[in-house]
């Protein structure tokens, strides 16, 4: 985020005071009097996502520390338990056994005298390189950024450093390492944060990638405690519309070839082609020391250009799970944007995560590209199914009556034929009796997908929210166009052409969207087949 925004100034002035007076050093016990919140009225509030993770109450931003261990997917998250606006960061905590249903757990990491607990990652230390393990079981080790608000307020540029904590009880309680910080600020570097740790088998060491202002840095360690800087990447490559944040680095096997490539994810704020925060990535090689983009990738990341993982405005800070089973590469993002995250019209909580993705790396005409797909586990939420046969859409095809269920929580798979001569727009429209509507679809004239929330309800909280529809260039050249959509109460996620183009956006209708139709403008659209699934919520 932009730590110099008005909000930040406000937070730092008011909260740095509260922080210095209230935070003890080093312990991670909850302050007295804070128990788990009363859950009776939760998850039924207006705009509350029904199959996306959101905190029981109060603020969240980035997902953190995702690691799979002992049958559980851990999801920690940037959390301020005292307010619905950003403030002194903690790590909230939830676990899931199926990536669909989430159990909320007590806060895992509290701020202390070294600072707020900013974003980071977690790993299973299988070889007990840290020595933190007990009774032959490997510890979970989290690595995070300390952000010292007092030093920052005093004008220091040394206020961010990297630290670790460990758990020997499946992530339920955490002990901060007494030797923290393990990577002190190297000297007047304002932005150095969001450590993503991986074990690199080939070089036999831990690698951490850090976001450092306008570049990424790779550091290596034998034991997660002593670190040595290995290399830098990116000052002159990729998008640089804003500060680089929340990196990730992982190897992937290219679909169908068996070839091994490395993916480097870099979030940045601002810089999203549709405005605000966004996520770019690079594909290349990592040799245990430095990252080098592949030659086929280089032309796409010259002169400030980026390759984007999601063209919607509301998928930020996404990184992947460590130790995911079956060789899967699973990612989750924060379903918001720093342009307006502090102002969206929700009361009990603020912000949610995307649905989890499963990534594949495919070789396309443009070179290697990530193809995100919704995790298959989400299919367990399908309640009723409505199928659509081949049909021509002439202006409008209403579906509300036929479905027999509300599109409020739904999933759709639509296949269109795209004649060379096509010029019009087509897609799906959700609406309500108040005349509010949200549209997502494809414009044949511009060869772009679009997400249009300009008439979708409350947008008064920020001029940046619904200035214009967001657009995404179509990556696939196939004459059959595929749209896979997820609609929750306040969001839409589009996986087009099997993940070649992705868009995630939120919206805030003043009454639920319970009407749905397919539309075609400036020409007819050829639907080849379709399915609409009613989805169950995950909280009941």
Q: What are the catalytic residues?
A: 62
The residue within the footprint of ligand FRU, chosen from 122, 237, 246, 381 (CB under 6 A), is: 246
β-pair type (515-521, 525-535): unpaired
| C-beta separation of 74 from 122 below 8 A | yes
Q: Could you tell me the two tokens for 254?
A: 């290219």
Does the footprint of ligand FRU cover residue 28 (CB under 6 A)?
Answer: no
Residue nearer to ligand FRU on the CB measure, 28 or 62:
62
Does the footprint of ligand FRU cover residue 90 (CB under 6 A)?
Answer: no
Closest separation in Å from C-beta 80 to ligand FRU: 9
Does the footprint of ligand FRU cover residue 60 (CB under 6 A)?
Answer: no
What is the layout of strands, in order, in the sheet containing 425-431? 396-398, 515-521, 425-431, 437-443, 448-452, 470-473
Q: Could you tell me the two tokens for 471?
A: 């657009």
Residue nearer to ligand FRU on the CB measure, 245 or 452:
245
Does the footprint of ligand FRU cover residue 78 (CB under 6 A)?
Answer: yes
Does the footprint of ligand FRU cover residue 317 (CB under 6 A)?
Answer: yes
Q: Could you tell me the two tokens for 268?
A: 């940045």
Question: 457, 334, 413, 466: which is closest to 61 by C-alpha?
Answer: 334
The residue within the footprint of ligand FRU, chosen from 7, 16, 53, 62 (CB under 6 A), is: 62
| C-beta separation of 235 from 205 below 8 A | no
The secondary element (H helix, E strand) that includes residue 376 is none
- The torsion of the CA quartet 100, 337, 492, 95, rounded to 10 degrees, works out to 0
The residue within the footprint of ligand FRU, chosen from 194, 200, 314, 452 (CB under 6 A), is: 194
Closest separation in Å from C-beta 332 to ligand FRU: 14
CA distance linking residue 362 with residue 370, whole number of Å: 6
Closest separation in Å from C-beta 334 to ligand FRU: 7
Residue nearer to ligand FRU on the CB measure, 200 or 314:
314
Query: What Cα–Cα distance (Å) separates residue 192 from each residue in 99, 162, 281, 511?
Result: 30, 8, 19, 42
Residue nearer to ligand FRU on the CB measure, 247 or 457:
247
Residue nearer to ligand FRU on the CB measure, 211 or 252:
211
Compute how many residues bind ligand FRU; rule: CB under 6 A: 13
Does the footprint of ligand FRU cover residue 61 (CB under 6 A)?
Answer: yes
> Counting beta carbons within 10 angstroms of the beta carbon of residue 154, is it exposed (0 to 12), middle (13 to 18) or buried (19 or more)?
exposed
The residue within the footprint of ligand FRU, chosen from 93, 176, 193, 474 (CB under 6 A), is: 193
Does the footprint of ligand FRU cover residue 91 (CB under 6 A)?
Answer: no
Residue nearer to ligand FRU on the CB measure, 92 or 441:
92
Does the footprint of ligand FRU cover residue 89 (CB under 6 A)?
Answer: yes
Residue that the structure tokens 């009613």 belong to: 534
Query: What Cα–Cα distance (Å) separates residue 246 from each residue in 197, 257, 261, 267, 352?
Result: 11, 29, 20, 6, 17
CA distance linking residue 254 with residue 268, whole number of Å: 26
What number of H helices and E strands is found in the chain? 3, 34
Residue nearer to ligand FRU on the CB measure, 244 or 438:
244
Residue that the structure tokens 């005298």 belong to: 113
Does the footprint of ligand FRU cover residue 121 (CB under 6 A)?
Answer: no
CA distance linking residue 116 with residue 246, whole number of Å: 16
Residue nearer to ligand FRU on the CB measure, 111 or 441:
111
CA distance linking residue 272 with residue 261, whole number of Å: 25
Q: Mark 324-353 with x for binding to ligand FRU (rule: CB under 6 A) and - for no binding.
A: ------------------------------
Closest separation in Å from C-beta 316 to ligand FRU: 6
Closest separation in Å from C-beta 195 to ligand FRU: 10
Q: Could you tell me the two tokens for 381?
A: 């939420």
The residue within the footprint of ligand FRU, chosen from 118, 206, 340, 450 (CB under 6 A), is: 118
Does the footprint of ligand FRU cover residue 148 (CB under 6 A)?
Answer: no
Does the footprint of ligand FRU cover residue 425 (CB under 6 A)?
Answer: no
Residues within the interface to ligand FRU (CB under 6 A): 1, 61-62, 78, 89, 118-119, 145, 193-194, 245-246, 317
């Amino acid at each position: 985020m932009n730590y110099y925004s008005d909000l930040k100034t406000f937070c730092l002035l008011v909260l740095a005071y509260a922080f210095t007076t209230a935070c003890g050093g080093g312990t991670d016990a909850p302050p007295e009097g804070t128990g788990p919140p009363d859950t009776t009225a939760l998850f039924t509030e207006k705009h509350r996502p029904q199959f996306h993770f959101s905190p029981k109450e109060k603020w969240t931003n980035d997902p953190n520390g995702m690691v799979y261990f002992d049958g559980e997917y851990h999801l920690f998250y940037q959390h301020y338990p005292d307010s619905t606006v950003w403030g002194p960061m903690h790590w909230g905590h939830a676990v899931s056994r199926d990536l669909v249903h989430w159990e909320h757990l007590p806060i895992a990491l509290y701020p202390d005298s070294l600072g707020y607990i900013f974003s980071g990652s977690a790993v299973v230390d299988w070889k007990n390189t840290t020595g933190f393990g007990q009774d032959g079981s490997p510890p979970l080790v989290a690595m995070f950024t300390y952000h010292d608000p007092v030093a920052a307020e005093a004008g220091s540029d040394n206020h961010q450093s990297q630290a670790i904590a460990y758990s020997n009880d499946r992530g339920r309680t955490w002990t901060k390492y007494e030797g923290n910080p393990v990577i002190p600020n190297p000297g007047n570097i304002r932005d150095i944060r969001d450590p993503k740790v991986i074990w690199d088998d080939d070089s036999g060491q831990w690698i951490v990638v850090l976001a450092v202002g306008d570049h990424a840095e790779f550091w290596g360690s034998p034991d997660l405690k002593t670190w040595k800087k290995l290399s830098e990447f990116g000052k002159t490559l990729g998008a640089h519309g804003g500060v680089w944040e929340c990196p990730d680095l992982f190897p992937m096997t290219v679909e169908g070839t068996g070839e091994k490539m490395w993916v480097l994810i870099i979030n940045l704020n601002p810089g999203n082609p549709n405005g605000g925060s966004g996520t770019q990535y690079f594909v290349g090689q990592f040799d245990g020391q430095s990252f080098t983009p592949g030659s086929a990738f280089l032309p796409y990341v010259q002169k400030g250009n980026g390759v984007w993982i999601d063209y919607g405005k509301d998928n930020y800070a996404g990184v992947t799970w460590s130790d995911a089973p079956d060789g899967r590469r699973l990612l989750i993002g924060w379903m918001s944007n720093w342009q307006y995250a502090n102002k969206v019209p929700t009361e009990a909580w603020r912000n949610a995560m995307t649905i989890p993705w499963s990534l594949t790396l495919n070789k396309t005409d443009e070179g290697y590209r990530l193809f995100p797909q919704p995790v298959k586990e989400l299919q367990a939420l399908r309640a009723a199914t409505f199928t659509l046969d081949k049909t021509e859409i002439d202006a409008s095809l209403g579906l509300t009556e036929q479905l027999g269920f509300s599109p409020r929580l739904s999933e759709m798979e639509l296949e269109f034929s795209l004649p060379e001569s096509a010029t019009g727009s087509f897609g799906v429209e959700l609406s309500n009796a108040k005349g509010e509507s949200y549209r997502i679809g494809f414009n044949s004239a511009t060869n772009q997908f679009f997400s249009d929330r300009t008439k979708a309800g409350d947008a008064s909280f920020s001029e940046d929210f619904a200035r214009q529809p967001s657009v995404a260039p179509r990556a696939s050249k196939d004459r059959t166009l595929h749209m896979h959509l997820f609609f929750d109460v306040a969001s839409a996620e589009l996986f087009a052409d099997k993940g070649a183009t992705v868009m995630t956006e939120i919206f805030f209708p003043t009454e639920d969207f319970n009407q749905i139709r397919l539309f075609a403008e400036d020409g007819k659209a050829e639907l080849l087949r379709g399915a609409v699934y009613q989805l169950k919520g995950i909280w009941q």
